[in-house]
Structure 1
Amino acid sequence: MNTYLTEKEKLNHPYYRIMELKGEELNEKLHSWSRLELIDWLCWNDRNGVYTDEDSVREFGNVLTEERAIEIITEMITED
């Protein structure tokens, strides 16, 4: 089974589309998402990360805040 997406399919998927944004456009989009949407994107993008509330509490003793999730996503998207 082919699990790869075509470029057109990627452009239609919101998780791929956000990766094309930069600067204020990226910031505005991320701030329009709920905390759970941000966590969902992080889990999708980095399956080995610790982002869910259950994992975060177990690993760090607290949950990932919306602000920190936005910082992490911004770093992931803008790093070269």
Structure 2
Amino acid sequence: MNKIISEEEKLKHPYYKLMELRGEVLETELNTWNRLDLIEWLSWNDRNGVYKDEESMQEFGNILSKEEAIEIISRQITEA
């Protein structure tokens, strides 16, 4: 079931708030997040992506680093 979220609710949710950031502000914010929080955001934003450690090991033979996660999030946000 998809829940429709109002603009006001979006502005309160940290995942949506992140999507409003750009440039250095976005990178600075992402660098305060730990690797697992970054992976959770990626999984939330792209349900078909392979980000979680177990899935990533099975699919690619490695896990996503914090730096890679930041790069992917930045790209997903700026190219959206």
Same fold (TM over 0.5): yes
Distance (Å, rounded) in 2 between the aligned partners of 1:2 and 1:67: 31
Any unmatched runs of 5+ in structure 2?
none
Structure 1 residues 21-36: aligned runs within 5 Å: 21-36=21-36
Q: Provide TM-score, normalisation by structure 1.
A: 0.96
Superposition deviation, residue 36 in structure 1:
0.2
Per-residue Cα deviation, 1:40-67 (whole angstroms, up to 9, x for no partner): 0000000000000000000000000000
2:65 is equivalent to residue 65 of structure 1? yes
Question: 2: distance between equivalents of 1:63 and 1:9?
Answer: 33
TM-score normalised by structure 2 residue count: 0.96
Secondary structure class of the residue paired with 2:62: coil
Runs of 4+ in 1 over 2 A off after TM superposition: none
Matches within 5 A, 1:1-80: 3-80=3-80
**Size of the alignment, in residue pairs?**
80
Which structure 1 segments of 5+ residues have no match?
A: none
Task: Report the Cα distance in structure 2 between the residues aligned to 1:43 and 1:2, rounded to whole angstroms.
Answer: 16
Q: Kindly provide the amino acid, as one letter, of the partner of residue 69 in structure 1.
A: A
User: Which whole-Å CA distance do the structure 1 matches of 2:12 and 2:49 have between them?
Assistant: 25
Counterpart amino acid of residue 13 in structure 2? H
RMSD across aligned positions (CA) = 1.2
